[in-house]
């Protein structure tokens, strides 16, 4: 069974641009969540989707948005990029997103904002 796939692996953007990251969950997994990892901050929850609906959202500005498609694939978008958005963005999937389910993570997209 293929794992969680995130594309692209690396991205370099400049301030003010926007970026779209993609995530394909494990087959059969319907919950997809996104996390931002920065040095010293650990993983910060961005949002969680299930059946194309955002069920939970973290404390990030509205520049961060996402969506989920009918095949459970998900994208996240960051508009008007700032230097502080440089981070590793991780996608994780689980069957239904229950709180006692373990998450399966992709390898992440490393975003650098110059």
Report if residue 35 touches another protein, rule: CB under 8 A: yes
**Subset of residues 39 to 58 that bind another protein, contact rule: CB under 8 A:** 40-45, 48, 50, 55-56, 58
Q: Give how far the C-alpha of residue 94 lies from the chain's centroid of Cα atoms, to the nearest Å.
A: 13
Nearest CB to another protein, comparing residues 1 and 102: 102
C-alpha distance from residue 38 to each of 24, 86, 87 (Å):
22, 8, 5
Nearest CB to another protein, comparing residues 17 and 88: 88
**Subset of residues 73 to 92 that bind another protein, contact rule: CB under 8 A:** 90, 92
Report if residue 60 touches another protein, rule: CB under 8 A: no
Strand intervals (E) in the chain: 5-7, 10-13, 19-24, 31-38, 42-50, 53-57, 64-68, 74-78, 87-94, 104-105, 109-113
Question: Under the rule (CB under 8 A), what is the footprint of another protein?
Answer: 4, 31, 33, 35, 40-45, 48, 50, 55-56, 58, 90, 92, 94, 97-108
């Amino acid at each position: 069974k293929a794992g969680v796939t995130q594309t692209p692996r690396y991205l370099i953007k400049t301030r003010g641009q926007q970026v779209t990251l993609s995530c394909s969950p494990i087959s059969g997994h319907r919950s997809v969540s996104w996390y931002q990892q920065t040095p010293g901050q650990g993983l910060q929850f961005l949002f969680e989707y299930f059946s194309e609906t955002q069920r939970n959202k973290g404390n990030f500005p509205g520049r961060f948005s996402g969506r989920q498609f009918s095949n459970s694939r998900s994208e996240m978008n960051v508009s008007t990029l700032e230097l502080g958005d440089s981070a590793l963005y991780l996608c994780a999937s689980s069957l239904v997103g229950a709180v006692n389910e373990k998450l399966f993570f992709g390898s992440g997209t490393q975003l650098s904002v110059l």
